[in-house]
A = this chain, B = another copy of it.
C-alpha cells in the first residue's frame, strides 16, 4: 500500500501533524491521530527510529514498524545540521501540530525550541512527552519506562499480596506508560486544536501540551490518592484477584491453561457452586455474601482451583459458559488473532504491506461512525517520503535534494 493524501473519512482529515519522535510515546500519539484521519509527517534521523531495530525481523524488517508508522510519511533528516533545522521550521509552517518526545531541553539545543517553532507558526499546537515533565526537579532525568511506571505507583500494585512470593512485582507486559502518555498527548493536541479552530470564537492561539510518563501512569490509580489523603490507607496489590470482590481470579486447568472466573455476585456464586456440584459452599457462612467471601478468599480460591484442575481448559471454559458465568481463558495474541469478535469488528484484519506481504494489523480505536478505515499506508522504509514531502510542501528541487543528501543533511528513498 502506498502513502497517499486522500482523506480517509476520519474526523481529523484536513489536519497535518509533524512528529519529531522516537521509540514509543510520541510515535504512538501520532499513530492515533493518523488513524483518525490526520496527515502525519514523521522526521527520523538518517539511521532510522530505533524501533525499526526492535524485536524479530521478517523480510529484514521489524513487523511492528508496519503498524507503528502506518499512515505516516517518513522523512529522514540529521537534526544536528542547521539546514535540517531550517527544513523542519519550513515544514512547521504547513503543520497544525507537532508531537515530540526528546529529553526536555534537547530541541532547544537544536534550535527547535518552542519559541523557534512558534515563530515559524504562531498557532502551532506543540505536544511534548517526557519522563517527568518539562519542569520540576526531575525534569532532566533520563526517562526509562519501567522507572516511570514504578514512580507512577503502578508497579507496586501489580504484584501478589505481600508475603505470597519472593518473586519481584511484575511489569505490565507492555510499555504501558509510554502508550498511555501517547493517548493523553493525542487528546491534548485535539483539545487544543478545537480551542484554536472552533467557529464560535475568533481564531485562537496554539498551545503547549506537556505530558509526563510518570503522571500518565499516576492518573490511573483511581481512589488510591484520595483514600491515602483522607484515611492514610496505602493501597496494596491483590495478585490475580480483586481486593474487594470474590471469587474473581484466574484458575489453572489441567492442561495448564489459565481461566478467569468472575463470580462475585451472589447469583453468580450460586451458579458456580451448582456447576461445581458443591452445594455445601452455599451453606457455609464463610462464603455467604461478598464480604465473607473476600475475608476467606484464600480458602475459596483453593477450592475453585482444585475443581478447575479437573478439567482441560477448553472443557472448563465451555462448562462455565454453559452456566452463564462470566469467564474466559487468558488470551494469548494467537487467541486474540482468532477471536470472532475482534475479526467481526475488524479489530484484527489483514493488510497488504509491500515489505511483508499480507499481514495482520490491529484496527482503529476509537471507532467513529461505525467505520474502520483501512490504513492509507503501512510503515515505510527510512527516507521513503523525503523527496515527496520536501519537494511537495517546500518545493525543494531534485538538485537541491541530491546535494543535501550528498552532504548528509538528509536521506532519501530507503
Query: Which of A's residues lie within 8 Å of B, judged by CB?
Result: 10-15, 24, 32, 36, 54-56, 58-59, 62-64, 66-68, 127, 132-138, 141-142, 144, 146-147, 150-160, 164-176, 179-180, 183-188, 190-195, 197-201, 203, 207-212, 214-216, 218-231, 233-235, 237-242, 244, 248-252, 258, 260, 262, 326-337, 339-342, 344-345, 347-348, 356, 359-363, 365-370
Contact = CB atoms under 8 A, between A and B. Distances in A.
Given A173-B158, A330-B169, A366 B209 contact: yes
Given A225-B361, A335-B153, A341 B194 contact: no
Contacts of A327: 147
B336 A230 contact: no
A162 to B, nearest CB: 8
Given A56-B227, A240-B170, A262 B146 contact: yes
A211 B347 CA distance: 11
A208 B67 contact: no
A168 B362 contact: no
Contacts of A168: 239-240, 249-252, 258
Nearest to A192: B11
A334 B187 contact: no
Nearest to A187: B187
Contacts of A223: 54-55, 62-64, 67-68
Given A56-B227, A157-B174, A199-B203, A209 B242 contact: no
Nearest to A197: B198
Given A187-B183, A332-B156, A24 B222 contact: yes
Given A167-B160, A174-B220, A230-B359, A208 B369 contact: yes
Residue among A166, A191, A220 facing the most chain B CB atoms (10 A cut-off): A191
Residue among A59, A137, A223, A230 facing the most chain B CB atoms (10 A cut-off): A230
Residue among A11, A56, A134, A214 facing the most chain B CB atoms (10 A cut-off): A11
Nearest to A321: B141
Contacts of A188: 36, 366-368
B170 A365 contact: no
A345 B215 contact: yes
A336 B225 contact: yes
A193 B198 CA distance: 9
B366 A211 contact: yes
22 contacts: A10-B191, A14-B200, A32-B187, A55-B227, A58-B230, A66-B226, A133-B345, A136-B340, A137-B340, A152-B336, A156-B330, A158-B158, A164-B167, A188-B368, A190-B191, A192-B368, A197-B200, A210-B367, A212-B365, A215-B347, A219-B362, A221-B336
B191 A328 contact: no
Given A239-B170, A330-B156, A344 B135 contact: yes
Contact of A326 (B144, B342, B344): B144
Contacts of A173: 154, 156-159, 235, 237-238
Contacts of A151: 328, 331, 336, 339
Given A36-B191, A192-B368, A215-B367, 11 more contacts: A12-B194, A58-B231, A66-B226, A133-B345, A134-B370, A136-B341, A153-B333, A174-B221, A210-B370, A225-B333, A225-B336
A331 B64 contact: no
Contact of A361 (B154, B226, B233): B226
Contacts of A210: 366-368, 370
A234 B147 contact: no
